[in-house]
Amino acid sequence: MLAAGAATFMIASCKSDSAKENVGPSAAPTVAIARVERTDLSRALTLTAEFRPFQEIDVHAKVAGYVKEIYVDVGDRVKEGQLLATLEIPELQDEVQQAEASAREGQEEIRRAQADLERSESAYQVAHLAYTRLAAVSKTQPGLVAQQEIDDAMGRDRVSAAQVSTAKAALSVAQQQLQVAQANQEKVRTLFAYARITAPFTGVVTKRYADTGSMIQAGTSSDTQSEPIARLSQNNLLRLVIPVPESIVPDIRLGGPVQVRVAALNKTYQGTVARFADQVDFATRTMHTEVDVPNPGLEIVPGMYAEASIVLSQKQDALAVPVQAIDRSDNRVTVYLVDKNNKIQERSVQLGIETPNRVEIVSGLAENDKVVVGNRGQLRPGMVVKPRLASSGQSSGGM
């Protein structure tokens, strides 16, 4: 009996030792790992925004008149300087003719004044020559010429000189009157030129207000409601207006790249931050920011919505791990590192730029280190594991 019991004890002891030997590497849990790698990281903010024309105006008439002809309609693409409409303004045309007549009259007055000046200068030359001759004879031969004759010659000389001055003044007045007439003529011509309404920039007609025969009031009139001819929109370059939250305002930079995805067209466009208000709106706590998006084919229509991804920060060749490797608990940021002996080590790390998929490691890890990704609730520091390299899809997927 004793021998049998000893044999049984030895067999049980051998089985127990065999079981302990089996609890080794073969029983270690398998964990997904990722390598610490260098990559380019960028942090972006995606917001929904609305396209607006780069500029849009209602085209008004400078002067009042009837629409004689309108050459555009909704949807027409026009170039800068292209004729949109012409107005019929008979009274202004009469004023143009009257101003031209006044200018011609002024030119005739100048020619008449010039002729009077030439005649006065000729008479003065004759009178002055006669007086100087008589005066010279009187000096050389006193008593030869009567004093009365000398005095008469001197009087005629002075009268002739005064007439020359008067003729010069008349010519100056005529020249000034001509300048006034020409200025008035230019003014009336300029006003009459406004009867031709042209496009101030290249764009698309988005609305037509007037038809042939419509009475159009002057756009500068303050006591009447002036009606525009048409609405013109510049759509070859669009403004994407983005309400940027207050927390992101310090990261907005002029010229920053922006990816613009238009769901209605299923296309993505490249734009840049062109301007921003540099002031947070008190009501919405957002800052008005605009992105210029080229639209040469006019496939984007103003009013469409888009998702704008603004790059807030980026770093080249950064040391990074998947976000699933990061644990934020107890006011610490740690990762589980798998060392060369396949044992778990807990490492504190310092983070930098964080994207939806990857996080920059500023300190705590080195390139090619292996870190655990995914659920690590059953793992403990010092535990031996079987590392398995996770696929890129697993390591970069959502948490």
Same domain, 279 and 366: no
Same domain, 104 and 163: yes
Q: Roughly how many angstroms between the first and final C-alpha of the chain, as a whole number?
A: 64
Same domain, 217 and 84: yes
Count of domains forming the chain? 4
Residue 332: pLDDT over 60: yes
13 domain residue, yes or no: no
pLDDT for 86: 92
Residue-wise pLDDT tens digits, 180-237? 988 988 888 888 888 899 999 999 999 999 999 888 887 765 555 678 999 999 999 9
DSSP letter for each residue of 92-147: HHHHHHHHHHHHHHHHHHHHHHHHHHHHHHHHHHHHHHHHHHHHHHHHHSTTSS-H
**Greatest CA span in the chain, whole angstroms?**
194
12 domain residue, yes or no: no
pLDDT for 225: 63
**Domain boundary at 314, 346, 365, which?**
314
Same domain, 307 and 363: no
Residue in the block written with tokens 């998006």: 293
390 domain residue, yes or no: yes
252 domain residue, yes or no: yes
Same domain, 34 and 176: no
19 domain residue, yes or no: no
17 domain residue, yes or no: no
DSSP conformation class of 29: P
Q: Which domain holds residue 206?
A: 61-88+197-228
pLDDT band at 269 (very low <50, low <70, confident <90, very high): very high
CATH of residue 224? 2.40.50.100
pTM of the model as a whole: 0.60
Find residue 267's DSSP bridge partners: 262
Q: Are 197 and 86 in contact (CB under 8 A)?
A: yes
Hey, what amino acid is at 206?
A: T
Residue-wise pLDDT tens digits, 34-81? 999 999 888 888 899 999 999 999 999 888 888 999 999 999 999 999
**Domain boundary at 314, 344, 363, which?**
314
**Domain boundary at 134, 169, 193, which?**
193
